[in-house]
Amino acid sequence: MAAHYYTVTWDQLHRDARALAWRLISLPAIKGIVAISRGGLIPAAIVARELECRLVESVSVATYEDEIRGFPQIIKFPSAAGDGEGFLVIDDLVDTGATVQAVRGVVPRAHYACIYAKPEGRSVIDTFITEVSQDTWILFPWDTEPQFVPPLARRSP
């Protein structure tokens, strides 16, 4: 279990993904984008729209089971990306960097970007927007749903 939780709303995710696109817009010509599935799919779609990039590929990596981190396994390769030259690889978060390192083995010449970065993974990512502490679990909007919360006055001390 994580020590801290940070909930990201759809609006915040969209703003942060657009901020990521803003940082990436000055890169040399982008041939395409590789989304790290599943967390990178939505950020990659937003970045692709903002950069007017039509070629969006995916790489599927299984690393987590709920909050338990395992060894990253690539289960679908990004064949259109070749060695990654001219491609952006987008993910929602870099935690320890293990997933990015696994993908770098497949598309080593790509530029790697994510929205959120934890200290242990910062060194393997080229561009990110927001740093969060290593002991924080980010709750993305696709992992949560709004629900009723009783007023504080109704809660027992």
Residues marked as catalytic: 91-92, 95
| CA 81 – CA 104 distance, rounded (Å) | 12
Pairing between β-strand 56-65 and β-strand 68-76 as defined by DSSP bridges: antiparallel
Which amino acid is present at 18? R
Is residue 7 within 8 Å of residue 37, measured between CB atoms?
no
Distance of CA 110 to the CA centre of its chain: 15
Question: Which spans in 10-109 are helix H?
Answer: 10-24, 41-50, 98-104
